[in-house]
Structure 1
């Protein structure tokens, strides 16, 4: 497996997440890069904010080679030719000639596809070619369960470097994480705060009070100590900074056990609705709200 420079430890590089849920703030991305030391920006074609991220990276003044840009291929773009076109489109919108990481966004494909397994494997081979051509430095998947990963592993020349999934104390897929670890696939977690729903949990609040920290910092710290790179997202500058200030305190073994034993009852992303969204596509970024748009050129 080809090495990926950011994966060695979860604290090596802070990740700033973007999506079409909750809005996009130009100032938050610039602040994260320029003032808080974030260097990994996670996005997706589907979110509709790639071109705004390009403007934010430029405005931050941080050199391109210091920024780890990751984006994703939407299932309606799966296929040898269409995946390459989608990749090139993302590069164009991000104003780059290479990507640091490119992921398959979901394992589901259009219902009209006769051989879904073949399409996934063909699409993965396209990512392998892009990797071989040095147009991307790391390739991976998102929201893949064990059975989906098996399809890729059955035919792949390059094992997925990353599997990015929902991850917080109330949705902690331990068996999937172990499956990935056994195959040298880095498990990466999005929605570490469960879209804010985990912040009010009494157990989380009690741990936060014991450390003089915010519940959000406790949740991000839990991800760090679980060896899972975390992708927090916020449009508020104070939260952007706070989410990166989690390396000067340690959760006790008892606190980790408390968080690890939370009831698994909270899912932010409805996997069952994804097929309908793929079969009845709306425009990329259809939900995007510009909380703070970039300034007019």
Structure 2
């Protein structure tokens, strides 16, 4: 599995396994299948309510813990110094593990929801920095942070975020934010890489897939990683889990990359970090 080196020296696989909606026995099966097939990055979150399932699957898989990069996230109702510390300990307890490899602030505080949103984010970050010092977290990062949130955080932070996990897919890939993160040494990670299923009906993507004798899903995931962006597709189907990781033996041309880059907006979630919890 190809990896990227984070700004703190830790490594992250270029392709990981998303666990949103992976719960109970079906979730355990899909995660153990993914690990069996070679995935080593597992992405969870408090709000997914499946951290216990993820922890059990990791143990059941038999894959050594040190080989797995496990991500979980601090939910937006738990922002603040004390709140973040409590939430993390609850996550660690549910996972039943000794440490987390990557811990993210899931959504930034914003002016709509906080009188001082900058402080809410920076206090959460300070708690996370201390957890790194304590050895409970290896890397810390953010999710859904725009430039304004990152710049505000940089005023007080000691540690630069290692990762920013954002909505990134054909039809909505936030190129300016992606470029900004890369210049700051922050690895971008894609959520919703298949545009909520909208990519499957797109003629351009269908044509490129036919040309390469690949699925539309594989074309989209390949496009993401050719941007040097980490991708975390999710599936409960063994065949699709296998298909999603088999994207390293072909390459999209510069022209194909450009064509996909220029696709009109599609599949956008409508979720904006400066106005949550509203969806447009």
Fold equivalence (TM over 0.5): yes
Cα distance, 1:271 vs structure 2: 2.4
Alignment correspondent of 1:50: 51
Normalised TM-score (structure 1)? 0.86
Change (3 A) 1:169 1:274: same
Alignment correspondent of 1:251: 252
The answer on whether the counterparts of 2:19 and 2:44 sit within 8 Å (CA) in structure 1 is yes
The answer on whether the counterparts of 1:76 and 1:109 sit within 8 Å (CA) in structure 2 is no
Of 3, 24, 27, which aligns to 2:9? Answer: 3
Which fold has the larger relative contact order, with Cα–Cα distance below 8 Å and residues 6 or more apart in sequence? 1
Alignment correspondent of 2:94: 93
Structure 2: gaps (5+ residues): 1-6
Cα distance, 1:223 vs structure 2: 0.8
Alignment correspondent of 2:226: 225
Alignment correspondent of 2:131: 130
Residue by residue, what CA displacement relative to the aligned partner does 1:226-247 show, whole Å, maximum 9, x if unpaired?
Answer: 1111111111111000000000
The answer on whether the counterparts of 2:271 and 2:278 sit within 8 Å (CA) in structure 1 is no
Matches within 5 A, 1:11-160: 14-20=15-21, 25-34=27-36, 36-108=37-109, 113-160=114-161
User: SS in structure 1 opposite 2:164?
Assistant: strand
Change (3 A) 1:133 1:22: closer
Please give the root-mean-square deviation of Cα atoms over the aligned residues, in Å.
2.0
Cα distance, 1:112 vs structure 2: 6.0
- Could you list the runs of 4 or more consecutive aligned residues of structure 1 that deviate by over 6 angstroms after TM superposition? none
Q: How many residues align?
A: 271
User: SS in structure 2 opposite 1:100?
Assistant: strand
Alignment correspondent of 2:210: 209
Alignment correspondent of 2:277: 275
The answer on whether the counterparts of 2:107 and 2:143 sit within 8 Å (CA) in structure 1 is yes
Structure 1: gaps (5+ residues): 278-297
Cα distance, 1:124 vs structure 2: 0.9
